[in-house]
């Protein structure tokens, strides 16, 4: 089969490799669409701590069941499926309290096990046992399914930080994640969403999203001034930093009101991950800072249903559909801010 093989930082190519075998009590999925995720682009550039090359990466997978292992009654050959790539064990201390994202034996499709930048992907038994495979029973276009993974992360983060009714939410970074935060914030009852983005072409691309009320070009405009003007001089109720920039994390703390919540959604480069916090704002003004890493299986199921029911306008996010062999072009589109979500098709 054809697959993109990652051999090390800045070193990957399409290769002909053996088709994976169907796991004994798992399934083999013919990949119909796979999302090009920002985290994959980072892996292509600098590698990943939990990944040993060579590896087939890619984790936002939608496909059709090609073959099926033993003892599986819920699925049949030919079923269309969405695959949740964050596969918890289901029995460790974190899994038991519902935080599968921190599972001590986490398997991550496309990192610890071969992923979806390929024509076929093997899905192990543990994924089926932990509700990580969802049957698609309607006519949802396959290219919209990969959005479920990022949507799940966004849902999990907003639940944690308590985005809800009446909130004014400030979002930094108008990539697919920032825009999904806007959609989910509104779905959770937020009153106003302010989007700050430094790349003008990316900002223009996202003007299509009705969930965003105020667009701020941070290369030209003073974000803090606009936030104060939009919030009666109080500051935002919640701020979400959906870009990997430490300085923006620092600034976000100054732009929320007293008792405001800040979420650091994007990770920083490993050799540059210390920032300067205004500790007194956290102390006197009772600012809460939240992290965000992945999600639990229940969040993925919720995300999939929001997309499937049209409550997340996935079609508006998918700006480019490319054959898998053109992955380098897709990476370029994302890096230059010329598209929102790129989806790859391994059979085109």
Smallest distance from Zn ion to CB 229, Å: 35
Task: State the minimum distance, in angstroms, from the CB of residue 293 to Zn ion.
Answer: 12
Closest approach, Cβ 232 to Zn ion, in A, equals 37
Per CB under 5 A, 294 contacts Zn ion: no
Q: Which of residues 5-64 bind Zn ion (CB under 5 A)?
A: 37
Q: Binding residue for Zn ion (CB under 5 A) from 31, 68, 82, 95?
A: 95
Q: Which is nearer to Zn ion, 253 or 322 (CB)?
A: 322
Site residues (CB under 5 A) for Zn ion, limited to 141-180: 149
CB of 74 to Zn ion, least distance (A): 21
214 near Zn ion, rule: CB under 5 A:
no
Nearer to Zn ion, 94 or 234 (CB): 94
The size of the interface with Zn ion (CB under 5 A), counted in residues, is 7
Query: Residue 59 or 257: which CB sits closer to Zn ion?
Result: 59
124 vs 235, beta carbon nearer Zn ion = 124
Binding-site member from 89, 214, 289, 321 for Zn ion (CB under 5 A) = 89
| CB of residue 285 to Zn ion, shortest distance in Å | 34
Nearest distance in Å: CB 58, Zn ion: 9
Instruction: Mark the segment that binds Zn ion (CB under 5 A) among 17-25, 85-93, 243-251, 338-346.
Output: 85-93
Q: How far is the CB of 153 from Zn ion (least distance, A)?
A: 8
* 103 binds Zn ion, rule: CB under 5 A: yes
- 20, 23, 69, 88: which one binds Zn ion (CB under 5 A): 88
The secondary structure of the chain, three-state, reads CEEEEEEECCEEEEEECCCCCCCCCCEEEEEEEEEECHHHHHHHHHCCCCCCCCEECCCEEEEEEEEECCCCCCCCCCCEEEECCEECCCCCHHHHCCCHHHCCCCEEECCCECCCCECEEEECHHHHHCCCEEEECCCCCHHHCCHHHHHHHHHHHHHHHCCCCCCEEEEECCCHHHHHHHHHHHHCCCCEEEEEECCHHHHHHHHHCCCCCEEEECCCCCHHHHHHHHCCCCCEEEEEECCCCHHHHHHHHHCEEEEEEEEECCCCCCCCCCCCCCHHHHHHCCCEEECCCCCCHHHHHHHHHHHHCCCCCHHHHEEEEEEHHHHHHHHHHHHCCCCCEEEEECCC
Q: Residues 44, 105: contact at Cβ < 8 Å?
A: no
For Zn ion, the binding residues (CB under 5 A) are 37, 88-89, 92, 95, 103, 149
């Amino acid at each position: 089969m054809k697959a993109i093989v990652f051999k090390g930082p800045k070193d990957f190519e399409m290769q002909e490799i053996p088709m994976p075998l169907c796991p004994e009590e798992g399934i083999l999925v013919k990949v119909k669409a796979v999302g090009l995720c920002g985290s994959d682009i980072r892996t292509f550039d600098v590698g990943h701590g939990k990944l040993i090359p060579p590896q087939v990466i890619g984790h936002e997978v939608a496909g059709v069941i090609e073959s099926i292992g033993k003892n599986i009654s819920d699925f049949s050959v030919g079923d269309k499926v969405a695959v949740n790539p964050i596969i918890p064990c289901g029995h460790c201390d974190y899994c038991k309290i519902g935080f599968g994202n921190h599972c001590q034996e986490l398997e991550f499709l496309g990192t610890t096990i071969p992923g979806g930048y390929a024509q076929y992907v093997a899905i192990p038994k543990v994924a089926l046992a932990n509700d990580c495979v969802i049957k698609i029973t309607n006519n949802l276009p396959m290219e919209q399914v990969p959005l479920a993974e990022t949507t799940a992360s966004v849902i999990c983060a907003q639940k944690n930080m308590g985005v809800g009714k009446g909130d004014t939410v400030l979002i930094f970074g108008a990539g697919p994640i920032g825009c999904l935060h806007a959609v989910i914030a509104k779905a959770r009852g937020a009153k106003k969403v302010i989007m700050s983005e430094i790349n003008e072409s990316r900002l223009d691309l996202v003007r299509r999203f009705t969930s965003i009320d105020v667009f701020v070009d941070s290369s030209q405009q003073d974000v803090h001034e606009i936030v104060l003007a939009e919030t009666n001089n109080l500051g935002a109720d919640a701020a979400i930093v959906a870009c990997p920039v430490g300085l923006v994390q620092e600034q976000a703390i100054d732009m929320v009101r007293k008792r405001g919540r800040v979420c650091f959604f994007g990770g920083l480069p490993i050799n540059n991950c210390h920032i300067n916090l205004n500790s007194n704002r956290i102390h006197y003004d009772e600012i809460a800072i939240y992290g965000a890493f992945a999600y639990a299986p229940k969040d993925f199921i919720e995300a999939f249903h929001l997309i499937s029911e049209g409550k997340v306008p996935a079609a508006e996010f998918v700006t480019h559909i490319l054959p898998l062999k053109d992955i380098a072009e897709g990476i370029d589109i994302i890096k230059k801010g010329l598209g929102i979500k790129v989806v790859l098709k391994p059979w085109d």
